[in-house]
Amino acid sequence: MASSTKYIFITGGVTSSLGKGIIAASLGKLLQARGFRVTIQKFDPYLNIDPGTLNPYEHGECYVTDDGAETDLDLGHYERFLNIPTSQDNNITTGRIYNNVITKERKGEFLGKTVQVIPHITDEIKANFYKLGEDGKVDVVITEIGGCVGDIESLPFIEAVRQAKWDLGPNNFLVIHLTLIPYLKAAKELKTKPTQHSVKQLLEAGIQPDILVCRTEYHLPSDVKKKLALFCNVQLNNVIEAMDADSIYDVPLLMKKEKLDERVMTKLKLSSKENTDLENWKDFLGKLKNPTQEVTIGLVGKYVSLPDAYKSIIESFTHAGASIECDVNLRLISSEELNSDNIIQKLTDLDGIVVAPGFGERGFEGKIETVKYARENNIPFLGICLGMQVAVIEYARNVLNLKDANSTEMDPKTSNPVIGLMEEQKNIDQMGGTMRLGSYACDLKKGSKAYQAYGKSKIQERHRHRYEFNNEYLKEMESNGMIATGTNPETGLVEIVEIKSHPWFVGVQFHPEYKSTVLTPQPLFVRFIQAAVDKKIK
């Protein structure tokens, strides 16, 4: 454990979904802007080894890192805010902790001891707390503890945080508690009692929060702040107001105004290396809030009733739109509701269409109809992962006249499997962590739309899929106008398809959205939005 590394823990109380991830990312951004090297990790209290097997409706999207870890969507926020990659070590679940301990027990590593929650589970949690700070590459490790204080499943994590204070010493350890101050309309009052109870639960677990960050719809009057300080045993200037913001990207500046970074630095005895440099961030916000043009993009998928299922895609449009001062009005459309009878009515006023990633056949035919509409009507199109596969299947059916063309995922017995299972996937019976995951190389054809977007011929993008373009159909596809413009140099697998005769039609097997950040918008999204703008002007 590197003694020079400082550790910040963020817990949540009263209710979940208060935005611990955004507060963690915002604080990380402010410390980073002062010259500190920062990383953020998320501990999730559920028993799944990782969120890879979870339905997006359970937990939002599954975010994938360069090293192929399937992680919580908060890691997407960390990368988008800090502009640095995360890894397998940045997201730990209860499932992984117990799995590690049980594996050690089976190997006899505990020398015949009785294996217990304390000390064995808590020691494993602490080892993972400290892992990112051990190599001396970061000054500050921010650890977000998922769930709510008081949840049974969070108890071992909270106990590990308590122990960490004694391991690290008071100037290397800090706890921020994120809480809610509800407003009762009938009484016209802000209420502190839920926060008092939440802090009391933390105190019962042996943890005194150093800073309270209070989510609120209204400004906190000084008497409310004083009450919180008194009853929660927190210094008055460490009661931080976190008002609801128009955009998550406003939060770093709001937290700077509230001096969250200064309070943290005082407690951790960190002396700032430089003044906070947030000029690029302010520039981005200026463009985001003052667009000079507007487009309407349809995002067609099957999880549209929960926008978090497409979090990275939605944020990619925010970054790319701002970079060309364009307001992207994103319309989420359920592919299950689309068919050949209503497709024109549902998609008629769109300037561009995205077909989203996904698994399984629910809503699949609606996606086929969507691609057909975009192709035949020259509407700018971007297909991501399954979206690219749908584009290939639609082209095979309606241009190559292979009427039963399909993916073996949807129809294992199809006589024209234009999309099939990769060879190494055929004997896999375990679901978790067994897909093609993480960063892979792709070579781009010069002159293609993808090459024009990236401005280079070699790229690296992240993947999360089992099925691939079947190269046996490549010649026939290319001679009929659908070209493979991106391929993996080692395997020859098709990564990108484009239609030559279409103004902007690109399907990608990878997930470009995972690498989009505030300061480096994803090139394909930028070009796609520009194509939508050009179509609208025409």
Active site positions, annotated: 385, 511, 513
| Residue 415 assigned to a binding site | no
| Residue 387 assigned to a binding site | yes
For 110, residues 6+ apart whose C-beta sits below 8 A from its C-beta are 104, 120
| Residue 27 assigned to a binding site | no
| Residue 192 assigned to a binding site | yes
End-to-end CA distance of the chain: 61
Closest by Cα among 507, 90, 82, 77 to 316: 77
Reduce the DSSP state of residue 94 to 3 states and report it: helix
| Residue 409 assigned to a binding site | yes
Report how far residue 220's alpha carbon sits from residue 243's, in angstroms, rounded to the nearest whole number.
9
Contact call for residues 21 and 144 (beta carbons, < 8 A): yes
Reduce the DSSP state of residue 531 to 3 states and report it: helix
| Residue 297 assigned to a binding site | no
| Residue 227 assigned to a binding site | yes
| Residue 389 assigned to a binding site | yes
Contact call for residues 91 and 85 (beta carbons, < 8 A): no
| Residue 362 assigned to a binding site | no
| Residue 21 assigned to a binding site | yes
| Residue 122 assigned to a binding site | no
Q: Are strands 70-71 and 63-64 parallel, antiparallel or unpaired?
A: antiparallel
Q: Are strands 173-180 and 505-508 parallel, antiparallel or unpaired?
A: unpaired
Q: Which two tokens stand for residue 532?
A: 């939508």
| Residue 445 assigned to a binding site | no
Contact call for residues 167 and 195 (beta carbons, < 8 A): no
Kindly tell me the sign of the dihedral angle through the C-alpha atoms of 50, 54, 57, 58: negative
| Whole-Å CA distances, 329 to 314, 321, 350, 357 | 10, 10, 10, 20
Report how far residue 293's alpha carbon sits from residue 116's, in angstroms, rounded to the nearest whole number.
60
Reduce the DSSP state of residue 478 to 3 states and report it: helix
* Partners of 484 in the β-ladder: 497
Kindly tell me the sign of the dihedral angle through the C-alpha atoms of 103, 108, 112, 118: negative
Query: How distant is the alpha carbon of residue 97 from its chain centre?
Result: 22
DSSP letters spanning 444-463 = EPTTSHHHHHHSSSEEEEEE
| Residue 86 assigned to a binding site | no
Neighbour count for residue 156 (Cβ, 10 Å): 20
Reduce the DSSP state of residue 21 to 3 states and report it: helix
| Residue 466 assigned to a binding site | yes
Contact call for residues 40 and 71 (beta carbons, < 8 A): no
Report how far residue 379's alpha carbon sits from residue 364's, in angstroms, rounded to the nearest whole number.
20
Report how far residue 501's alpha carbon sits from residue 140's, in angstroms, rounded to the nearest whole number.
52
3-class secondary structure per residue, 374-403? HHHCCCCEEEECHHHHHHHHHHHHHCCCCC
| Residue 206 assigned to a binding site | no
| Residue 455 assigned to a binding site | no
| Residue 195 assigned to a binding site | yes
| Residue 257 assigned to a binding site | no
| Residue 291 assigned to a binding site | no
| Residue 388 assigned to a binding site | yes
Closest by Cα among 304, 358, 308, 311 to 331: 304
Backbone angles phi, psi at 186, to 5 degrees: -60, -40
| Residue 93 assigned to a binding site | no
| Residue 345 assigned to a binding site | no
Feature table: binding site for ATP: 17-22, 74, 245
Feature table: binding site for UTP: 16, 191-196, 227
Feature table: binding site for Mg(2+): 74, 144
Feature table: binding site for L-glutamine: 57, 358, 386-389, 409, 466
Feature table: binding site: 16-22, 57, 74, 144, 151-153, 191-196, 227, 245, 358, 386-389, 409, 466
Feature table: binding site for CTP: 16, 151-153, 191-196, 227
